[in-house]
Chain A
Amino acid sequence: MSETAPIIARGLTKRFNSFVAVDHVSFEVKRGEILGFIGPNGAGKSTIIRILCGLLRPSEGQVFVTGVDVALKPEAARQKIGYMSQKFSLYGDLTVMENLHFFGGIYRVPSAKRAERIRYAIDMAGLTGREDALVSSLAGGWKQRLALGCAILHNPPILFLDEPTSGVDPISRRRFWDLIHDLAKDGVTILVTTHYMDEAEYCDRIVLINQGRIVASGSPTELKHTPLGGALYLVECDGVGRALHVLGGTKGVRDVAAFGDALHVLVEESFGGEAAIRTVLAANNIAVTRLSPIEPGLEDVFVSLVTRGAAAVS
């Protein structure tokens, strides 16, 4: 069993009446890997997490957590998982230490080990000297690291993080991700769900989910090289708003988005590239100051794959 991936999903399907929330999804997460699940609201991310935690039964397929069949032994599977969501985890009117003791009890950390694990969590979170502070008085970055400490008190081999750093100040965010990478180095397997691309960038590998299916997966760099079904250009011109409309209504232009005084324009391969964009804008008396091909960001890839999926369905 030592070779078995810590998280395995095979043909996972969940139906709610006639609605298929998760549609034959299969994936594995290796030991020490940080896997990001990204997808729009309602894509099926949280349904998959609930199934992995044994809180929902799949309609079809199987999930294994450290080799344990979750449907057969949900309690045993949950013991292997730490879960952190930024929103609901901590008690603001309890102190740092009281929160840690509370979660130590919930996770049934043996009392012989509890003091040592709590010490570890306080060190990791950089909360030494703040043990008696009320959690509500802590800044966002501290709270977030404390929540992480609480989630790993029982030393779980698997950690689920739900939008762990959205809205947190950038320095705290980077420190948090350093901690996550340290945990991964120690062999903890980590699954992150988010719809923020800048969080997804920190993951080793990303799985993009839309309408209950996996539509793409790979490292952030690989995903950025996903064929978008066209070429992406940066266009700086007069009257960005008008150019947005003109290009948006042109056949062969797949997507246009405005960024300040510039546009990102995705055109089909057959459109004719830069020259064709110039022709369209010139015909509408829009002067171009800069036009150059650019590398897509993760968000460009995400939007392209999701909207293409929607077009294929409708």
Chain B
Amino acid sequence: MNGAPAIDVRNIGKRFGTHAAISGLSFSVYPNEIFGLVGPDGAGKTTTMRMLAGVMRPDAGAIVIDGVDVVSFPDMAKARFSYMPQRFGLYEDLTVDENIRFYADLFGIARKTREERAARLLAASGMLRFRDRLAGVLSGGMKQKLGLTCALIHAPRIVLLDEPTTGVDPVSRRDFWRILYDLREDGVTIVISTAYLDEAERCHRLALLYDGRLLECDTPAALKRHMPGAILSIVSKTPRAIRDMVGRCAGVRDTMLVGDSVHAVVDDADRRLPEIERALSASGLDFEPPTRAEPTIEDLFVTLQEPRKEAAE
């Protein structure tokens, strides 16, 4: 986090008619980090990405990428990064290799450089065998990896990826993230948006977006430390009965059924854990001793979001 930010976003806003899609959003992305824009559908991730990429103008505020003012000089800024929108423009009736060649030509990449980079990127994504396959018949995960290969063929120093893993299964997602970490090893700065809160854990720092606003911005570990209270997990053969019982215990703010276990959000784990265990023993219900569960980014989101929801309704 040392040195000047690679991307600086200052107080940007964007309205569509009467709807404020983004309000007062500020954050900085430092060189060589993987920065996540995280939030549910409709939070403003794609709008933010489009403004960063200079394809949409904010109504207010400033965006500076690698020292260039994106709002005033979008064309100049575009040379500084690569942007992969949600629907990356692959040519479905061209092969994998032909798509790569097309993008390499657009960026004026010499043939030898192109061959080397394409081979390396395709190897990293496990796609060397499919070079002659038409893009249109690739699986969703493969299309995304080909899109990334095309977006990276000119070796950009900053990469903006808008929900690249939506609809991609966990195995392909791991490949995809491995490529991102390889890029980072080469010194590339990455901004990635995702609606999958479990994926957020893979980023170095996160901006949690909700309803066009920034809820928090920090590392996943620091964000979890900020979470008020603690989570207890209770495995049981009769989780529904356990939930009803635990929900009535003192200090329990919220309960959730999570498969064969119940998660209880409590104000003070040290105090409530023995209390709840005693209450469970007295109830005669089946249970395994409660354990502390590490909060997930989703848990954090819910605690941050809850007061807002109540205020809105």
- The chain A residues found within 8 Å of chain B, CB to CB, are 39-42, 139-140, 166-174, 177-178, 181, 185, 195-198, 200-204, 206, 219-222, 240-242, 244-245, 257-261, 299, 302-303, 306-307
What's the minimum C-beta distance from A308 to chain B, rounded to whole angstroms? 11
Alpha-carbon gap, A39 to B171, bound state (A): 10
What per-residue 1/0 map shows which CB atoms of B184-198 lie under 8 Å from chain A?
110000000001111
Residue of B nearest to A185 (CB): B240
Alpha-carbon gap, A264 to B272, bound state (A): 32
Q: Are B42 and A139 in contact (CB under 8 A)?
A: yes
Partner among B201, B210, B302 whose Cβ is within 8 Å of the Cβ of A174: B302
Q: Chain B residues with Cβ under 8 A from A185's Cβ?
A: 240
Q: Are A299 and B260 in contact (CB under 8 A)?
A: no
Residue of A nearest to B180 (CB): A258
Residues facing A in B46-93 (CB within 8 A) are none
Q: A169-B39, A170-B40, A219-B259 are in contact. List 19 more A-B contacts (CB 8 A).
A: A39-B169, A40-B171, A167-B40, A168-B40, A169-B41, A170-B301, A170-B305, A171-B302, A174-B302, A178-B257, A195-B170, A196-B198, A203-B259, A221-B235, A244-B182, A245-B182, A259-B202, A302-B170, A306-B171
What per-residue 1/0 map shows which CB atoms of B92-130 lie under 8 Å from chain A?
000000000000000000000000000000000000000
- Residue among B170, B202, B258 with most chain A CB within 10 A: B170
Q: Chain B residues with Cβ under 8 A from A171's Cβ?
A: 302, 305-306, 309
Q: How large is the interface on B (under 10, 10 to 19, 20 to 34, 35 or more residues)?
A: 35 or more
Alpha-carbon gap, A15 to B145, bound state (A): 29
Alpha-carbon gap, A181 to B243, bound state (A): 11
Q: Are B302 and A170 in contact (CB under 8 A)?
A: yes
Q: Chain B residues with Cβ under 8 A from A306's Cβ?
A: 170-171
Partner among A203, A204, A299 whose Cβ is within 8 Å of the Cβ of B170: A299
A-B contact pairs, 13 of them (CB 8 A): A41-B139, A167-B195, A168-B40, A170-B40, A196-B196, A240-B181, A244-B182, A245-B185, A258-B177, A259-B202, A260-B201, A302-B171, A303-B170
What's the minimum C-beta distance from B149 to chain A, rounded to whole angstroms? 19
Q: Chain A residues with Cβ under 8 A from B210's Cβ?
A: 169
Q: Chain A residues with Cβ under 8 A from B40's Cβ?
A: 140, 167-170, 172
Which 8 pairs across A and B sit closest by C-beta, in order of nearness?
A241-B185, A169-B40, A220-B259, A40-B169, A219-B260, A167-B195, A167-B41, A258-B181
Q: Are A303 and B298 in contact (CB under 8 A)?
A: no
Alpha-carbon gap, A162 to B204, bound state (A): 32
Indicate whether A41 sits within 8 Å of B240 (C-beta atoms), given known contacts A168-B40, A258-B181: no
Question: Counting CB contacts under 8 A, is B21 at the interface?
Answer: no
Alpha-carbon gap, A257 to B259, bound state (A): 26
Alpha-carbon gap, A267 to B41, bound state (A): 37
What's the minimum C-beta distance from A313 to chain B, rounded to whole angstroms? 14
What per-residue 1/0 map shows which CB atoms of B247-268 lie under 8 Å from chain A?
0000000001111110000000
Question: Counting CB contacts under 8 A, is B174 at the interface?
Answer: yes
What per-residue 1/0 map shows which CB atoms of B295-309 lie under 8 Å from chain A?
010100110011001
Question: Counting CB contacts under 8 A, is B220 at the interface?
Answer: yes
Residue of B nearest to A126 (CB): B313
Partner among B39, B182, B257 whose Cβ is within 8 Å of the Cβ of A202: B257
Q: Are A168 and B170 in contact (CB under 8 A)?
A: no
Question: Counting CB contacts under 8 A, is B203 at the interface?
Answer: yes
Q: Are A221 and B184 in contact (CB under 8 A)?
A: no
Q: Are B298 and A41 in contact (CB under 8 A)?
A: no
